[in-house]
Amino acid sequence: MALEMREICERCEVSLKADGPAFICSYECTFCPACTGAMAATCPNCGGELLTRPRRTTG
């Protein structure tokens, strides 16, 4: 099963690129670096740890 590469931050709705920085929890909730820092790397939906999302190369 492939990781869903969501295209927007769930908190501030900034656009996220597949090959750009983003953070996810185990449920794939997705946040930008700024929001992740503001939330102390804790998912507001499940309380899980937010980790760096793997980057998917384009092309």
Whether pLDDT at 59 is above 60: no
- Looking at residue 18, its pLDDT comes to 86
- Tell me the pTM: 0.90
- Looking at residue 58, its pLDDT comes to 64
pLDDT in tens, 28-52: 999 999 999 999 999 999 999 999 9
Q: Percentage of residues in the chain with pLDDT exceeding 90?
A: 80
Q: For the chain, what are the domain ranges?
A: 1-59
**Average model confidence (pLDDT) for the chain?**
93
Angstrom CA distances, 8 to 28, 37, stand at 12, 16
